[in-house]
Amino acid sequence: MTERAHRMRSARTVPLGTWVRRRVTWIKLPVERSSREDSTTVTKWEYASVPLISHALQEILNQWGEEGWELVQVQESQSTGTVAFLKRPKQEGSSS
């Protein structure tokens, strides 16, 4: 292996967050962080299941959306009909 290839190979194996020397200056490589590490709070959710009427789907979902609900899934069954499952961040002080 040539000297240049050896230097390039060793440069790639240096873990992030360590100090490395480049020519005459020293730089610190950035440390990778996931979004979970930056988050200090966990989002708590509340859920709702809503029966859907085929002739008013858009109106029903828009109304719930205006109240902060997000559609998670729609399920159809012979016993329950069409049901929408929704979620939104739980509001502080909400007991349900």
DSSP 56: G
Band of the pLDDT at 27, cuts 50, 70, 90? low
Judged by DSSP in three states, 68 sits in coil
Whether the CB-CB separation of 23 and 62 falls below 8 Å is answered with no
pLDDT at residue 68 is higher than 80: yes
Band of the pLDDT at 72, cuts 50, 70, 90? very high
Tell me what the pLDDT averaged over the chain comes to: 76
Judged by DSSP in three states, 10 sits in helix
Average pLDDT over residues 22-51: 71
pLDDT of residue 42: 84
Cα end-to-end span (Å), the chain? 66
Domain boundaries, the chain: 3-37, 45-89
pLDDT at residue 59 is higher than 70: yes
Residue with tokens 């109304």: 63
HSE-up (13 A, CA, CB side) for residue 52: 23
